[in-house]
Amino acid sequence: MTRLLVLIMGALATVMFALIVLVIMPRTMLADIKAPEQLKPLSALEARGRQIYISNGCIYCHTQQVRDSNFTADVSKGLGNRPSVPADYVNDAPHLLGTMRTGPDLFNVGSRLPDQNWQLVHLYQPRALVPWSIMPAFPFLFEHKAKAGPNEKTLNLPPAYAPREGVVVVSKDAEAIVAYLLSLKHAYPAPGNDLTKEIAND
C-alpha cells in the first residue's frame, strides 16, 4: 500500500510540476504582451477563412512560425524577414503554429504571394502552378457551372486544368480562405518589449 501511495504522489507531483512549468509560468510571462500596431485584427471574412483553414486540416502540413536564424535558414529562404515572436500571435485563438512543414510555412504568405488569383488557382489545383506539389486539391470549395452569375467571380485556370465546358466559380468559402491567407503578413519590425527582444535575439 505504501508503494502505491508513493507512486500516486509521484505521479501527482509530476503532473503539478508540468502544469506549473508548461502552462502557468508561460501564461504569466506572456500575459502583458500587446499586439503590435501593424498587426490588425481579422475581418469577418478573414476570420471565416481561418475557420475553414482549420476545418480542412491545413495546420497538419503548414506551420506559421519563422524560426531563429541562428538555428535555421527560414529567413534566408524568404519565409520572413525576422523570427516570429509571441506578440505576433496575440490575436490568435487558438494559435496555429503547427508542427509539420510538409508544405511551406505560411507566416508571411500574404507578403510572399499576394496575388489573389494565384492563391485561388493553387487552392483549386496546386499542380496547375507547382507541378511537383503534393498538396491535395480543394475543388469542392468551388462550383462548376455552365455560366457564372452577374456577381460571381470565375477562376482563370491554365487551359490544361480548365473544364471543357462551363466555368469554375469561386465560392464564398474559397474567397474566405484566400482572404485569410492574404492577411498573413508579419513583415513589420519585431515589437520592442523586452521579452520579445530577448526571444528574437536569442
Mean pLDDT, residues 130-140: 95
Mean pLDDT, residues 31-38: 83
CB 73 within 8 Å of CB 36: no
pLDDT at 195: 42
Grid cell digits, residue 1:
500500500
Query: Lowest-pLDDT range, 15-29, 98-112, 136-150, 159-173?
Result: 15-29
Does 198 score more than 60 pLDDT? Answer: no
Does 202 score more than 50 pLDDT? Answer: no
DSSP for 49-99? HHHHHHHTTGGGT----PPPTTT--TTTTTS-SS---GGGGTT-SS----S
Q: Which of 187, 194, 196 is nearest to 111 (CA)?
A: 187
Q: Residue 26's pLDDT band (boundaries 50, 70, 90)?
A: confident
Whole-model pTM: value is: 0.82
Q: Which of 34, 36, 68, 37 is nearest to 198 (CA)?
A: 68
Does 124 score more than 60 pLDDT? Answer: yes
pLDDT at 113: 95
pLDDT at 13: 93
pLDDT digits over 35-51, tens only? 888 888 999 999 999 99
Distance CA(16)–CA(107), nearest Å, equals 33
User: What mean pLDDT is reported for the chain?
Assistant: 89
Does 200 score more than 60 pLDDT? Answer: no
pLDDT at 20: 93
Q: Residue 1's pLDDT band (boundaries 50, 70, 90)?
A: low
Mean pLDDT, residues 1-22: 90
pLDDT digits over 62-121, tens only? 999 999 988 899 999 989 899 999 899 988 988 899 988 999 999 999 999 999 999 999
